[in-house]
A and B are shown apart, each in its own frame.
Chain A
Amino acid sequence: MERRDFLKHLCWVISSGGIMSGLTADAWAAILNKDYDTTKHYYGMGIDIDKCIGCGRCMQACKTENAVPAAPFYFRTWVERYVIKTDRTVSVNTLNMESVAKPDVLPEKEVLRSFFVPKLCNQCDHPPCVQVCPVGATFKTDDGVILVDSKRCIGCRYCIQACPYGARYLHPETRVADKCTFCYHRLVKGLLPVCVEVCPQQARVFGDMKSIASPLGRFTRMNKIHVLKPSLNTDPKVYYANLDGEVN
């Protein structure tokens, strides 16, 4: 009896192992777009904290482009506001896209440091979310983007638990996991993710790490780079410049 079980399991191991081999560049090109070769790109994003003005245009544009539910409980990308006071207390808030346009009542003399931090899925190189998905519905593409197959996700929410950055949420209507995809449907057409597109300060910089000259390349050369929660060894591909130690 045990032998049959073992053979069964072996068959499954071999066929699941197919996911490791990936596909040839030709096959991908034939499927996606004649000119787009997934193996020739590897995407990452840079964010300069000193440039973010907390206008919330990225949050708004992302919700529009990716049909994210409008309620302020589901975000593919969001901006956090940190206020560090002179008594060393830290208060953090998620940016409210409407109240950012209203007058601010923070007492300046108590403030030691204050800044905005955009957050999104870090498209990790060692993604804990991909590791724990029981059915393989979330996976990493050859060009470095983590996608969720909304037709296969069973909504077990293990990936949401495993993400250290709070980047995932359960979509209230489709009841599957959802998250930032670096606007993958735009990348394959040579466009930028919308959050990068609409940022007024170019606080978000997008790049192809396999291309010779890209904004991300210069960004990572000229700035001291930090990533979120490096001790968890997720190898994020969203690189922060001028990131304060209070951000986690």
Chain B
Amino acid sequence: MEAAQNLMELSRQVVGFIYPNEIDIQWSILIVVYPYITGLVAGAFILASLVKVFNVKELQPTYRLAMLTALAFMLIAPLPLQLHLGRPERSYEMFMTPNLTSAMAMFGFVYLWYLMLVLLLEIYFEYRRDMIVWSSESTGPKRWLLKLLSLFSTDISEKAVAFDKKTVKVITIIGIPSAFLLHGYVGFIFGSIKANPWWSSVMMPVVFLFSAIVSGIAMVMLLYMIIKPLLGGKIDMKCLDKVASFLFYAVIVDFSIEVLDFIHRLYESEESIKILSQLVETKLFISLVVLQILMGMLLPLLVMAIIKIFKLQEEVRKLLYFVCGLLIQLGIFSTRWNVVIGGQLFSKSFRGLTTYKMEMMGIEGFLVALVLLIVPFVILAILIKLLPPWKKEELASN
């Protein structure tokens, strides 16, 4: 059988001793993609909440874009999980008989809660007035779609719009802990596995959350810099600088927490330190030291610090922000990789390392993962077409 042959080859690449059942990596690249996607959702939402709850006025231009980005990625989020299940047709069982001691069982409920009661509801109240206006200006299927999306509402009076604004604020307040739960529970899924010392850590949900905030803010920043000019508008530098500022602080916090975890591990030097050191020095050297730390965190930190200190020109700043945004995406994706795949590369006997052979085709292969990462942008394009984040006047003015 081909699978057995692949495993035979894999077994020749094993270093040291692994339990015989450990030869196959159980959670593949799809499980790297999932926390990356929900991280973007949570991070984009936190950026949006800075506008509505913490009244950071400079960030207002990014608000609607952040919400649409969150929605676009949220719609794709269940797919990597479904595709990775051994029996995807039985996934409904999580709703029928969820095991209440399992963090994974809350996925369906948290997802539905966040999608329905936070994202969709907030987008509804945010866009309701505009949807009514646009539907009256459009014809054909678009008109009816907008009517449907606005739930056939008609009231665009001052009082109604004020109510909408207030509701958005309330939903955002509820949404912040919900976003923490949406992404934090993933961190808890890993952090609560005492069998795996790479994962088992009280900081795991916190690290997940902060790297999510970093990646979400960076993603919205990138999208803002690409989409606004594409739609004919001009980038608001005050907004961009503010976003970059928050990104800078978020990266500092995220980096500090990860460094703390690292120092703590080395200092306590528990039983697993030998195999974990070997893991980082050999299998994870490029993805952790080079991609996650150097290129994904230290370099962007340095660049953004330089921008802050030397007050560079607008065009230079834009270019550097863009580069930082890309580096951070790479870095956060590597972070997810290092956690998920890294945790499975060493044996629970602490005596050996195995390898991850990512297939190209196949339901858990590289191509599927790539598609899953691209589709949200397609969805975002559709959403932007239907519910533009900036009105024509905004695009023309600045």
Residues of chain A touching chain B, judged by Cβ–Cβ distance below 8 Å, are 1, 5, 9, 12-13, 16, 71-75, 78, 80, 90-94, 119, 128, 130-137, 152-158, 160-170, 172, 175-177, 232, 248
Contact = CB atoms under 8 A, between A and B. Distances in A.
A165 B348 contact: yes
Contact of A1 (B88, B117, B348): B117
B47 to A, nearest CB: 26
Contact of A134 (B3, B19, B102, B193): B102
Contacts of B101: 130-132
Given A73-B4, A135-B90, A167-B21, 18 more contacts: A1-B117, A16-B100, A71-B1, A73-B21, A78-B20, A92-B16, A93-B17, A94-B19, A131-B101, A132-B101, A135-B93, A154-B94, A160-B21, A163-B195, A165-B348, A170-B26, A170-B86, A232-B194
Nearest to B192: A132
A166 to B, nearest CB: 3
Contact of A166 (B22, B94, B113): B22
Contacts of A92: 16-17, 349, 351
21 contacts: A1-B117, A9-B109, A16-B99, A73-B7, A93-B17, A94-B20, A128-B194, A131-B101, A135-B97, A152-B93, A154-B88, A155-B85, A157-B26, A157-B27, A164-B195, A166-B347, A166-B349, A167-B21, A170-B24, A170-B26, A248-B351
Interface hub of B20, B23, B94, B117 (most chain A Cβ within 10 A): B20
B141 to A, nearest CB: 31
B328 to A, nearest CB: 28
Contact of A153 (B23, B87, B109): B87
A49 to B, nearest CB: 16
Contacts of B94: 134-135, 154
Given A167-B21, A175-B86, A161 B27 contact: yes
Contacts of B7: 71, 73
Interface string B22-49: 1110110000000000000000000000
B317 to A, nearest CB: 44
Contacts of B192: 132
Nearest to A155: B86
Contact of A73 (B20, B344, B348, B350): B20
Nearest to A156: B85
B59 to A, nearest CB: 29
B76 interface: no
Interface residues of B, number: 51
B107 interface: yes
B201 interface: no
B348 A134 contact: no
Nearest to A78: B20
Contact of B21 (A93, A132, A164, A168): A168
B348 A156 contact: no
Contact of A162 (B88, B193, B351): B193
A166 B101 CA distance: 21
Interface hub of A72, A119, A128, A154 (most chain B Cβ within 10 A): A154
A73 B85 contact: no
B194 A12 contact: no
B98 interface: yes
A106 B7 CA distance: 27
B195 A136 contact: no
B256 interface: no
Nearest to B174: A2
A13 B24 contact: no
Nearest to B89: A154
A73 B87 CA distance: 21
A165 B113 CA distance: 36
Contacts of A13: 100
Nearest to A71: B4
Contact of B105 (A119, A134, A161, A168): A134
A133 B351 contact: no
A154 B347 contact: no
Contacts of A166: 18-22, 347-349
Contacts of B102: 131-134, 158
B150 interface: no
Interface in B227-280: none
Contact of A160 (B26, B100, B103, B105): B26
Given A154-B86, A155-B86, A163-B195, A134 B107 contact: yes
B104 A134 contact: yes
Contacts of A163: 195
A135 B87 CA distance: 12
A75 B27 contact: no
B172 to A, nearest CB: 16
B196 interface: yes
Nearest 10 pairs between A and B by C-beta? Answer: A155-B86, A166-B19, A175-B86, A164-B195, A92-B17, A134-B105, A134-B104, A169-B21, A157-B26, A136-B99
B167 interface: no
A88 B169 CA distance: 65
Interface hub of A1, A9, A94 (most chain B Cβ within 10 A): A94
Interface in B2-22: 3-4, 7, 11, 16-22
A89 B26 CA distance: 30
Contacts of A157: 26-27, 86
Nearest to B200: A232
B389 to A, nearest CB: 27
Nearest to A1: B117
Contacts of B153: none
B24 A161 contact: no
